[in-house]
Structure 1
Amino acid sequence: MPIPLTDVPAIAARLDDAALHVWRLRYDPRQGRAPLRALLGAYLGLPADAVELVAGSHGRPQLAGAQQGDTLDFNWTHSGDCALVALGRHARPGIDVERRRARPRGLEIARRYFAPGEADWLARQPPDRQDEAFLVLWTAKEAVLKALGRGLAFGLHRLEIDTSGAAPRLLRLEQEDPAAWQLQPLEVDREHVAALAWRGTPRCIWQWVLAGDD
């Protein structure tokens, strides 16, 4: 059941170092970041218009230092009308969501930009599974890059996702110990594929849907 914004502060109070919170919001480009600011305000105990966002060194949106303090960080992503927001304390989450649709150039993109092992794995997938497999790789790689605080310019080939198990796993990340990272696929709905990543120990992931105007 969707949660009204007025109930969010009580949920926010339960966010600790053992958990990450993930919210689904309805995205409307005419509203821009207004719903995001409202959600962040509920976690900070501030009105939405008092939430100050700044761009990090690689363009990643983040809370201004005085509001972030030493604890709260967030990341958000959107595809179509679906937006996801991840929040953590003493953790920098990275999150990505993509709408399921045909990706006729998926293998071509993988051959050009992904690690060779990832492209080879994608090529081995049955044709009717390649679009889904591409999105699993893409969202996992994006989530890690966003948690790292970097964008696509970092280079998609500089990290590699192991897809041999039941869930994707970070196999390689240049200048980082992949064992220090967590990567988790997210269940959103039948129309989207999503992933969440962070550096640190495993945490419980709690997911909610924020009520909005329909």
Structure 2
Amino acid sequence: MTSPLPPDPVAAAAQLDDQAIHVWHLDYRRGPGRRPLLRLLAMYLGVDAGELSLVEDAHGRPRLDRRHGQVLDFNWSHSGEHALVAIARGIAPGIDIERRRARPRALVLARRFFDEAEAAALAALPEGARDEAFLALWTAKEAVLKAHGRGIGYGLQRLRVAVPPQRLQLLHFENEDIAAWQLQPLDVAPGLIAALAWRGAPREVHSATVPAGMLADTA
């Protein structure tokens, strides 16, 4: 379950503590790229966006430069004209978002990249439910692997997730204690499927949509 955030990121930033994760839904355009993300993170850090810089770790995950401290961490994902940003203190969140759409090759992809049990469960679903279940699995797996730090290049088959209509949960993760992991779906909008994951104790998840234009380029 999630609860609402104040729509002003500056006000919301003051409420972020070690028991919470903040999730922001914002517009995404290819032109501005990461600039809206940087503006949002700058509001949390209390600095000008022009002073903020990101670096990529050895596995390509963007992180705040060490000069901004090592307490705050984030992750983001975009699909179409939508993006989600997860911000937390003391943990590395992983988040993923996908647009609901037909996936005619869902079974082909599942049999190639997913755990065998997941692929079999997808094959047993009615065709009308399969695309939704595939996207739920995909977002869940990517969120976990991003929180893990290695991304999908580490291998989607290394973890197994309960297949909808079962409740979303992590059932197996190679070389990991699944009891140490949290995974939950996010209800963003009717046309979107999203998931959030992190390694650590349960936390309260608070979410909001960034007001239109707040993070836009200004002249």
Q: Is the 8 A contact 2:184 2:196 kept in 1?
A: yes
Superposition map of 1:61-72 within 5 A: 61-67=62-68, 69-72=69-72
* Residue 105 of structure 1: aligned partner: 105
Quote the residue 2:32 is aligned against. Answer: 31
2 CA distance for matches of 1:72 and 1:185?
22
Given that 2:5 and 2:206 are in contact with CA atoms closer than 8 Å, whether structure 1 keeps it comes out as: no
Aligned ranges 1:21-170 → 2 under 5 Å:
21-67=22-68, 69-163=69-163, 166-170=166-170
TM-score when normalising by structure 1: 0.94
Residues 30 and 66 from structure 1, CA distance in 2 versus in 1: closer, same or farther, beyond 3 angstroms? same
Q: Which runs of 5+ in 1 are unaligned?
A: none
Instruction: Tell me, yes or no, if the aligned pair for 1:3 and 1:211 is still in contact at 8 Å.
Output: no
**In 2: Cα distance, 1:121 partner to 1:19 partner:** 34
- 1:149/1:47 Cα in 2 relative to 1: closer, same or farther (>3 Å)? same
Q: Name 2:177's counterpart in structure 1.
A: 177
Q: C-alpha separation between the residues in 1 aligned to 2:116 and 2:155?
A: 13
Counterpart CA distance in 1 for 2:110 and 2:165 is: 20
Name stretches of at least 5 consecutive residues in structure 2 with no aligned partner: none
Kept in 2, the 8 Å contact 1:95–1:194? The answer is yes
- Residue type at the aligned position of 2:56: A
Q: Is the 8 A contact 1:3 1:210 kept in 2?
A: no
Offset from partner CA, 1:50-78 (integer Å, 9 cap, x none): 111000110001101121x2311000000
Matched-pair contact (CA < 8 Å) for 1:3–1:209: no
In the aligned structure 2, how far is the partner of 1:82 from the partner of 1:165? 25
The offset of 1:163, in angstroms, is: 3.0
Determine if contact 2:136/2:164 at 8 Å carries over to the other structure: no
Instruction: Give the fraction of aligned pairs with identical amino acids, expressed as a percent.
Output: 54
Q: Distance in 2 between matches of 1:108 and 1:181?
A: 28
The answer to whether the Cα contact below 8 Å between 2:133 and 2:164 also exists between their aligned partners in 1 is no
RMSD: 1.7
In the TM superposition, residue 47 of structure 1 has moved relative to its aligned partner by: 1.1
Following TM superposition, by how much is the alpha carbon of 1:166 offset from its aligned partner in structure 2, in angstroms?
A: 4.7
- Code of the residue aligned with 1:29 in structure 2: it is R
Partner SS, residue 117 of structure 1: helix
Instruction: Go from structure 1 to structure 2 and tell me whether the alpha carbon gap of 1:211 and 1:31 turns closer, same or farther (over 3 Å shift).
Output: same
Give the aligned partner of residue 207 of structure 2: 207
Give secondary structure in 1 for the equivalent of 2:145: helix
The count of corresponding residues between Structure 1 and Structure 2 is: 211
For the structure 1 residues 32 and 86, does the alpha-carbon distance in structure 2 shift closer, same or farther, using more than 3 Å as the test? same
- Kindly indicate whether the alpha-carbon contact (under 8 Å) linking 1:183 and 1:197 is maintained by their aligned counterparts in 2: yes
Distance of 1:75 and 1:165 partners within structure 2 = 27
The one-letter amino acid paired with 2:206 is W
Shift of 1:33: 0.4
Q: Aligned-pair distance for 1:167?
A: 2.4
Instruction: Note if contact 1:107-1:122 (Cα within 8 Å) is conserved in structure 2.
Output: yes
Please report the TM-score for the alignment, with normalisation by the length of structure 2: 0.92
d(CA) in 1 for partners of 2:103, 2:111: 14
